[in-house]
Each structure stands twice: as structure tokens, then as C-alpha cells.
Chain A
Amino acid sequence: MAPESRHNHRVYLWIPGSLAARAPRNDKVCFMTTAVTLDHATLRIGGRTILSDVSFAIREGEFIGVLGPNGAGKTTLMRSILGLLQPVTGSVRVFGRAPERGDPAIGYLPQLRTVQPDLRVRGFDFIASSLNGHRWGLPPFGNGNHALIDETLDAVGARDLSRRPLCEMSGGERQRLLLAQALIGNPKLLLLDEPLISLDARHQEVAIDVVRKVCRERGITVLFSAHELNQLLGTLDRVLYLGNTQAVLGTVDDVITAPVLSRLYGTDIEVVRAAGHIFVMSRGCDVERTDHAHDHDHAHEHEH
């Protein structure tokens, strides 16, 4: 039952002056600087309602674990924050403004796709392609962005990936490369879509540690979507749980409860706490685990 108590020591690293600089204009939540606000927002894709009349406010500097069953709208939510999907009703605000495609204040790590086995693009070129990649014309000759790319790779301890071809990196290395890329340009908000998928348990821990360290240092707001709550317990400030077109934002103690999750899953949910872990069960099955077929080692120690 220890993890809950640990949430009391969560730290907000406010960057001095960031409050003034980021003071939201025309924002309903004026008493607190918010990074992301949804106000009665309804998100729909092709006639299907993904999120319906959802309201919540994520504060600047918070580490938010975004959870929920497959198809609950984790990616859809991120796409709306990126300005790729307009809400049908209500509003989505990022740092008090309407989301804008290509906003440099947002770093984004999309869900991992399978990389073509023959693609021999080096880590360096992979990241370089994303720098001003929306501009027309030829890509730059030479290695003009070397310092910038080395710096961001150093931040996640992955300098050696610069010269390695993408197709020969492990899943963990690739995620590290993508994280490094997402950090370029010092974003204020980081959207990480399932960064733990395809990683084994050890690499998942490492990935979470890297994100936590860098983001706490830089005061970055993080939306970290995942299938599993337990590994994020020591890191996250609050949980955003999606399901059944609804979203609930709150502390682990408030959200990970049988009544709230039963509503979000639309079925009877039991929450079992044991050995510092929280298990969300439906009819005796762990719903987080049945979603995906990873073989994690349940018994491993959490060192937070």
C-alpha cells in the first residue's frame, strides 16, 4: 500500500517566470496555469464518438498517466491536442490557446510503428529529417544540425544512436531516439503515445526514468499513455483515465476505484491493491493485461 503515500512527495518544478509568461488568456481556469484544458469537448472520428462532453485541466509541469482500454481515445485525445482533430463541440486549449498544427511548444512521440527491415537510415538522419521537415525544397546538405542533435541525444543518454541505422536498433533504442527527437526545441508539453509498447520490463523502467528525469529538470508537462498503471505509480502526479467516451482526471486514489472504473469500462470492475501494485480486475481477469500480450515479470521489484 506504499505507492499512494509516495504521491505526497510529488514535486512541481516551476520554471521561474513561466507563470507570467504562460498566463492563460481568456481561459476559464484562471487561478492556475494550465497546460491542457478540455471544456465540454466532444471528439468524433468518422461519426463515431470517441470522447463525449469531456472536461478536465492539466496543470503545467504535471506528469499525467493516460490510461484506459484499447480504443478509449488516448491517441485521439493527443491528436486533438496537436490540432489534428477539432472538437465537435466544446473546446480544447493548449497553454490557453487553440491548438495549432506544428506548435513548437509540443513534443510528440507517436505510437511505435513497425520499421521497414531494410531501412538503413541513421539515427542522425532520422532526427535531422524532422527538423523543419515541413519546409519545401531540398533537405540540407552536410551535418549542420550536429550540435543540436548530439545535445538532445545526450539528454536521454543515447549519443551512440546517432550513427547507427534505424533497422538495427532494438525497440528500446528506437524509443530513446524518438524521445530525444521529441525533446528538440525545448517543448513545454510532451505527448508520449504508448512509449512502453514493445519494450521488455527492464527497458520500460529505464524509459520511464529517462522521461521523468528530463521532464522534471525542464519542467515539462507530460501526457504519458500506457496500458499499465503500476510502472508509472512512482512517477505520475495524476491519472487521466479514459473509457466509455468519458475521461476522469485525478489522483490515483481518486480515480483507480471500483465505482469510477466500473463506469469507464461499462462493466463491474474490482480494484485490488497488493504488494505496492494495483490490479484492475474484471470478473477475475486483469483488464490491463488482457489488452496486450506482453510477458512482464510480475514479481520484479519497483525501486522508486
Chain B
Amino acid sequence: MITRMSMSIDMFAYEFMTNAFAAAGIVAVVSGLTGFFLVMRGQTFAGHALSHIGFAGATGAGLIGLAPLWGLVGFTVAAGVLMGLLSERLSNRDVAIGVILALALGFGLLFLHYYTSFATQATALLFGNVLAVDRVMIVTLAALGTVTLIALAAIMRPLIFASLQPELAEAKGVPLRFISTAFLAIVALAVSACAQIVGVLLVFTLMVGPPAAAQRVTSGLWSGLILSAALALAEAWLGIAMAFYTDWPVSFCIALLSALAYFAALAWPSPRATHAHAH
């Protein structure tokens, strides 16, 4: 008991733990806010595909001696822009995205095959390794997150209009193609940051779980955004703490909490029920 107590006090005494909390905090807020619009637009699968394409980018970067993060950023942003330019319709097409996603994972494997010493990092790329984050990475993630959120804020208003009513938005002068392309590029940046924490396979836990839960519970825009970011933050931090005490992998803990929060939100009483009672 005593050792447990001292552990709980000492959790923040370890630098790798404070680093993990800082990095996960930055990424969670960025993911929760960006993911909110991904869910609103029904493009979650596109986000998933971007992360897999990022895997090929990260392993490819390793092959030519670059940091995996920049391979991730380069590949996902390029893919996001391409998806946006190929028109909104294509980026929503599950089969086309699925094929590209599988191809990207295949390329990731090929790159790993030719750069075998890099293979130890494959697990970290796929499932994240937040406990290995250093100060430089925190600064990089903060910069990446800032750019992502500034870009998101710049297009947020027309993005919402275009997501809810594309035809009307087009008629009112919103450049739909530009908005969807810029948004997928923003998602690509968020995915790159997110993959550093939970890995490319689990970006859904921070980018889709929290916003989906938030949108079940609240129907307001700002309340939804704030709740989404708060949920992502809580899941990330609680996940790290949980991993610290249980010795389970951090990404598993975050994935578990994300799923629990989502299913709890599904069980949340519908506002319609209270509305009906009011009459």
C-alpha cells in the first residue's frame, strides 16, 4: 500500500511521465477539435486512411534517413490534398479509400523490409509510444498543433456551412473544393501528431471516439467542440495514468477509455425524450 501511495505521488517525478502528459495533452486537444469536424462531415474513414498512408510515409522516411514524423506529415498532407482535389465525392467513397489504405500499408511493409534495423520502430509507429517522447518532440508537436488549430480556425465558419449544406454554401460563394482540400490537409497534420501518441492504427481513439461521443451528448456547436476536446484530453491523461499503475500499454488504455466514453454516450438519454415530455 505504501509503495502504491508513493507511486501516485511520484508519477510526475519522472521526466518521461511529465513529457508524456504534455505531449498527450497537446495532441488530445488538437485531435478532439479536428476530429469533431471529421465526424460532422462523415469523413472518419478518410481520416483512418490518412493515418495508414502516414505509416508508409514514416517508414519511407526512415529508409532515407529522415525522422519518421516528417515522413508522416509529408505523406498524409500530400494524400489529404490529393483526396480533396479528387473531389469530395471520391474522398467519401469507402471502396476507393479502402484500396488506397491497403496499398499504403503494403508500401509501409515494403519500406520496412528494405530497412530492417528500422523494424523495431514499427510497433511504435503502429501503436504509439508516448512514454518515449522527449522535449524536442513536445516542442515539435506544439508547433504542429498550433499550425493545425490556426488553420482550422481560419476555415471553421465556411467549413461548418459547407459540411451541413454543401449546395447552399456553394450558391452563397463558399469555395467547396478549396474548403474540403484544406480541411483534409488539416486532418493530415492532426493525424501525424496523433500517431505520435497512440500510433497510426489507433488514431480513431482520439480523433473519432471523443467527438462522436460529444456529438451524441450535446447538439450545440461550441459545447460540442469543447466537450470533444475535454473528453480527448481526459481519455489521454487518464489512459497514461492507468498505464502507469497497471503496466498495460498506454495506447490500449486510451483506446479502452475512448470506447467506454463512446458507449456511455450512446446510452445517454436522448434530448428528444426530454423534449417529448415537455409537451
State how many angstroms separate the Cβ of B138 from the closest Cβ of chain A.
27
Convert B135-165 into 0s and 1s, putting 1 for each residue whose CB lies closer than 8 angstroms to a CB of A.
0000000000000000001111110111011
Of the candidates A108, A126, A137, which one forms a contact with B154 in the assembled complex, judged by CB atoms under 8 Å apart?
Answer: A137
Alpha-carbon distance A106/B173, docked complex (angstroms) = 13
State how many angstroms separate the Cβ of B224 from the closest Cβ of chain A.
8
Q: Is B40 an interface residue (CB 8 A)?
A: yes
Alpha-carbon distance A168/B216, docked complex (angstroms) = 12
Convert B243-279 into 0s and 1s, putting 1 for each residue whose CB lies closer than 8 angstroms to a CB of A.
0000000000000000000000000001110010000
Q: List, in ascending order, chain A residues with CB within 8 A of B224's CB.
A: 120
Of the candidates A102, A120, A141, which one forms a contact with B216 in the assembled complex, judged by CB atoms under 8 Å apart?
Answer: A120
With A119-B40, A120-B216, A165-B272 known to touch, is A101 a contact of B171 (CB < 8 Å)?
Answer: yes
Q: List, in ascending order, chain B residues with CB within 8 A of A163's CB.
A: 275
Q: Is the CB of B171 within 8 A of A136?
A: no
Query: Which one of A127-135, A237-245, A281-289 is at the B interface?
Result: A127-135
Of the candidates B153, B160, B212, B216, which one forms a contact with A133 in the assembled complex, judged by CB atoms under 8 Å apart?
Answer: B160
Q: Is A84 an interface residue (CB 8 A)?
A: yes
Alpha-carbon distance A171/B161, docked complex (angstroms) = 20
Q: Is the CB of B216 within 8 A of A165?
A: no
Q: List, in ascending order, chain A residues with CB within 8 A of B171's CB.
A: 79, 82-84, 101-102, 106, 108, 110
Q: Is B218 an interface residue (CB 8 A)?
A: yes
8 Å CB interface, A149-176 against B: 163-165, 168
Q: Is B124 an interface residue (CB 8 A)?
A: no
A-B contact number at CB 8 A: 100
Q: Is A8 an interface residue (CB 8 A)?
A: no
Q: Is the CB of B164 within 8 A of A126?
A: yes
Q: Is the CB of B271 within 8 A of A165?
A: yes
Q: Is A118 an interface residue (CB 8 A)?
A: yes
Q: Is the CB of A120 within 8 A of B168?
A: no
Q: Is B3 an interface residue (CB 8 A)?
A: no
Interface size grouping (class) on chain B: 35 or more
Q: Is B34 an interface residue (CB 8 A)?
A: no
Q: Is the CB of B216 within 8 A of A118?
A: yes
Q: List, in ascending order, chain B residues with CB within 8 A of A120's CB.
A: 215-216, 218-219, 224, 271
State how many angstroms separate the Cβ of A135 from the closest Cβ of chain B.
6
Of A102, A120, A135, A181, chain B has the most CB atoms within 10 Å of the CB of A120
Of the candidates B40, B156, B162, B172, which one forms a contact with A138 in the assembled complex, judged by CB atoms under 8 Å apart?
Answer: B156
State how many angstroms separate the Cβ of A59 from the closest Cβ of chain B.
23
State how many angstroms separate the Cβ of B263 from the closest Cβ of chain A.
14
Alpha-carbon distance A135/B162, docked complex (angstroms) = 12
Alpha-carbon distance A181/B153, docked complex (angstroms) = 25
Q: List, in ascending order, chain A residues with CB within 8 A of B160's CB.
A: 129, 133, 139
**CB closest residue in chain A, given B156:** A138
Alpha-carbon distance A79/B40, docked complex (angstroms) = 26
Q: Is the CB of B172 within 8 A of A102?
A: yes
State how many angstroms separate the Cβ of A24 from the closest Cβ of chain B.
22
Q: Is the CB of B275 within 8 A of A139?
A: no
Alpha-carbon distance A280/B129, docked complex (angstroms) = 69
With A129-B161, A136-B155 known to touch, is A121 a contact of B219 (CB < 8 Å)?
Answer: yes
With A84-B171, A134-B172, A165-B272 known to touch, is A122 a contact of B219 (CB < 8 Å)?
Answer: yes
**CB closest residue in chain B, given A104:** B172
Q: Is A5 an interface residue (CB 8 A)?
A: no
Q: Is the CB of A134 within 8 A of B174?
A: yes
What 9 pairs between A and B have smallest CB-CB spacing?
A133-B161, A110-B167, A102-B173, A120-B219, A82-B171, A122-B219, A165-B219, A101-B173, A134-B173
Residues of A participating in the B interface, judged by any CB pair closer than 8 Å: 79, 82-84, 101-102, 106, 108, 110-111, 113, 116, 118-122, 125-126, 129-130, 132-139, 141, 163-165, 168, 181
Other than the given A122-B220, A129-B164, 16 more pairs (CB < 8 A) read A101-B173, A102-B172, A120-B215, A120-B219, A121-B164, A130-B164, A130-B172, A133-B160, A133-B162, A134-B161, A134-B169, A135-B158, A137-B154, A137-B156, A137-B157, A139-B157
8 A-B pairs, CB-CB below 8 angstroms?
A: A83-B171, A108-B168, A118-B212, A136-B158, A139-B156, A139-B157, A164-B272, A168-B272
